[in-house]
């Protein structure tokens, strides 16, 4: 009997936990913070969990990390910048990739999505190239350069525009764009970095920089003329 009552009690506790989860609602505020609203089964508001008020979304955490790492002032508002870094080529974050009005204003017909956990939502009107890669130094991003370049050239030659985005629009997507500029605009890595940073502040991780250095050496142009401090 005692074990039976114990089992009943454990089942009730599990059920209680499930009810709590079902009636806790996570809400993202305009400033990017996330709070948990607690409601009754009837949907009546109980209170806000103040402990969650300082938690940020994944994108905002990444943006904060990169901006601080590169010495930039952090702005947690939605990042809707469309940086036109070359003819028909735009660079941005996941925010702008989900804003249809902004995309149409810039006549975006193709999107390269190299973010993690970001869905493609305009499949009826935009052509996508998607590969999910982590923004860590040991990720082999160079293996995607050729496919990305073909996709970008196809978009431009057909009269369209292409957006390249990751999560924060600072490292992965910037690396893809930099490789494109090195190949088709005949820029060295240093020149490409200066050019892009005039329009949008970027900061590829050290591993991606090394891959760009390696890639530049393969190109039959001045894009393989690199500073010694970049090769170190």
Q: 3-class DSSP state for residue 107?
A: coil
pLDDT surpassing 70 at residue 180: yes
Higher pLDDT, 77 or 206: 206
Cα distances (Å, whole numbers) of residue 89 to 104, 186, 191 = 14, 15, 17
Res. 10 pLDDT band, cuts 50 70 90:
low
Structural contact between residues 141 and 133, judged by C-beta atoms closer than 8 angstroms: yes
Stretch 143-172: mean pLDDT: 96
- pLDDT recorded at residue 126: 97
Find the Cα–Cα–Cα–Cα dihedral 178, 176, 149, 129, rounded to 10°. -150
Write out the catalytic residue numbers.
166
pLDDT of residue 228: 42
Domains of the chain: 2-56 (no CATH), 62-231 (3.90.190.10)
pLDDT of res. 184: 96
pLDDT, one tens digit per residue, over 135-152 is 999 999 999 999 999 999
pLDDT at 46: 45
* pLDDT tops 50 at residue 40: no
For residues 47-72, average pLDDT: 50
Between these two residues, 77 and 37, which has the higher pLDDT value? 77
pLDDT in tens, 97-132: 999 999 999 999 999 999 988 999 999 999 999 999
Predicted local distance difference test score (pLDDT) of residue 22: 42
Q: How many CB atoms lie within 10 A of CB 159?
A: 9
Q: Binning pLDDT at 50, 70 and 90, where does residue 65 land? A: low
CA distance 61 to 66: 9
pLDDT of 86 higher than 60: yes
């Amino acid at each position: 009997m005692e074990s039976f009552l114990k089992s009943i009690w454990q089942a009730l506790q599990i059920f209680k936990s499930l009810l709590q989860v079902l009636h806790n609602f996570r809400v993202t505020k305009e400033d990017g913070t996330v709070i948990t609203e607690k409601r009754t089964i009837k949907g009546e508001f109980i209170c806000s969990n103040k402990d969650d008020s300082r938690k940020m979304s994944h994108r905002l955490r990444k943006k904060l990390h990169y901006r601080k790492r590169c010495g930039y002032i952090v702005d947690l508002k939605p990042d809707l910048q469309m940086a036109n870094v070359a003819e028909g080529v735009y660079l941005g974050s996941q925010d702008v990739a989900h804003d249809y009005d902004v995309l149409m204003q810039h006549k975006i017909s193709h999107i390269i999505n190299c973010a993690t956990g970001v869905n493609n939502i305009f499949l009826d009107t935009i052509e996508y190239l998607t590969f999910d890669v982590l923004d860590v130094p040991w990720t082999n991003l160079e293996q995607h350069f050729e496919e990305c370049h073909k996709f970008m050239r196809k978009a431009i030659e057909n009269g369209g525009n292409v957006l390249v985005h990751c999560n924060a629009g600072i490292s992965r997507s910037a690396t893809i764009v930099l490789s494109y500029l090195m190949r088709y605009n005949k820029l060295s890595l240093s020149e490409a970095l200066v050019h892009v940073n005039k329009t949008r502040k970027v900061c590829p991780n050290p591993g991606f920089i090394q891959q760009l250095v390696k890639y530049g050496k393969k190109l039959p142009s001045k894009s393989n003329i690199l500073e010694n401090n970049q090769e170190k």
